[in-house]
Amino acid sequence: MIETIRVELGNRSYPIHIGSGTLAGGDLFLAPLEPTEVLILTNETIAPLYLAQIRANFTKKSCHNLILPDGEAHKNLETLEHILTFMLERGFKRGALLVALGGGVIGDLGGFAASCYQRGISYIQVPTTLLAQVDSSVGGKTAVNHRLGKNMIGAFHQPSAVITDTKTLTTLPDRELRAGIAEIIKYGLIRDFPLFEWLESNIDNLLGRDSYTLKTAISLSCKNKAEVVASDEKEENIRATLNFGHTFGHAIETALGYGTWLHGEAVALGMCMATRLSYAIGSLTMEEVVRVESLLRRADLPIVPPEGLSEDALLTVMKSDKKNVDDRIRLVLLESLGSARVTTDYPHEKLADAIKNGSVS
C-alpha cells in the first residue's frame, strides 16, 4: 500500500509517495508531467541495483542516464558542471525531467542541476537511503559543497514529486541506516516529543529493519518535514529549527574532510553538542540530556568528538556558516524535549565547553 503525503506550497505543491515497490510506479513518475526527455542521475553503487527498474518507467520517452562516482567528496562544482554539460551536449530542452536516484548527495546534485539548467527544469527525488527518505529529499534545498563550507552554493528548487521505495533499504549498509536514524531522532527532539518516545520504544525494531517500523518512521518524519516546509519554504523562521545539530555537524564534516564521517553521524554528534549547550544555559535538565544521549548511543551513533578534532578548527568553520547573524553563530537549541528555538544568545565559553566535552552519561 502506498501512502501519500503532500507538501502544500500552492502551485508548487507536490506529493511524497511512500511504499514498497514504488520504483515500478509508472504513472507516479509521469503524471502530471509530460517530459520532452528524461535524465536519470545516479551513482556507481545504486545503478546496478535500481537503474533498470527506473528506466522501465520511461520506455516511451527519450531516456538517458548519467552514473557518477559515489560519495560526498564528489558533491562539488566540478560534478555539477559535468551534469550540465551532459545535458547540453544532448540538447535537453526546458521540458526535460531529471530523476535523482540515490542518497542525499545525488538528490542535492540533481536538484541543483535542475534549478540551474535553462533557469529551471522539473525533477523527481527517488531517495534510496534512509537519511534522504526522511530529510534531504523533501523541501527543495539543493546545493554543492565548497572546500570552505558544506552546502555553501545552492538554491531552493522544489521537486515535482518524491517517490520513496522502502525496499531500497534492504540493500542499505548498517552504517547508512544508523545515519538516517539520526535525522528521525532530530524531529522528535525539535517538535514531536511523541515521536521521540516512540523511538525509545522502537529503536531496536528500527535497527533490525522491521518493515512496518521503517515505514512508520519515514511517514512520521516526512509529515513533520512537510508541515515545516509548507509554513516556511525559504527558511525565514520555523524551518531553521530543522538545522538542529547541523551547524555543529556541517563543521565536523568540513573539519574532518568530506566523506570521513557520514552526514547523519556528524549531525548526531552535533545534536549532542547542542543538547549539552541547552543544558548549560538552563533549558534542559541533566536527566533530559542523558535521555538524548542514551537514545543516540542505542542507535550506535557518535556522541563524543573523535580524537584530533580541534575545537578551534570547528569554531572557525562554524563562524563562516551561512545562517549566522552579525558575526554571531546562530544555533538551534532545545527549550525542552520536543521544542526548539533559534538563537545567538548564549555565552561563548559555554559553546566552547559543549564542543570539547564528552558524553555526560
Residues serving a catalytic function are: 119, 141, 183, 225, 235, 239, 243, 246, 250, 263
C-alpha–C-alpha distance, residues 275 and 232, integer Å? 24
Report which residue type is found at 226: A
SS3 122: strand
- Beta-carbon contacts of residue 7 (< 8 Å; ≥ 6 apart): 13, 14, 15, 16, 138, 139, 158, 226, 229, 230
From 139, 90, 142, select the one nearest 114 (Cα to Cα): 142
96 CB burial (10 A radius; 0-12, 13-18, 19+): buried
Phi/psi for 67 (5° steps) reads -105, 120
- Beta-carbon contacts of residue 233 (< 8 Å; ≥ 6 apart): 9, 139, 140, 156, 158, 239
Phi/psi for 12 (5° steps) reads -110, 15
C-alpha–C-alpha distance, residues 351 and 276, integer Å? 9
C-alpha–C-alpha distance, residues 75 and 80, integer Å? 8
Q: Strand 161-165 to strand 14-19: parallel, antiparallel, or no bridges (unpaired)? A: parallel
DSSP one-letter string for 6-38: EE--GGG-EEEEEESSGGG-THHHHSS---SSE
C-alpha–C-alpha distance, residues 360 and 353, integer Å? 12
List, in sequence order, every residue forming a beta bridge with 332; answer none if it has no partner.
342
- CA 92 to each of CA 37, 54, 102, 220, 322: distance values in angstroms, whole numbers, following the listed order: 7, 19, 22, 37, 33
Q: Locate 265 and state its grid cell.
A: 553521524
- Beta-carbon contacts of residue 274 (< 8 Å; ≥ 6 apart): 244, 245, 248, 331, 332, 333, 334, 354
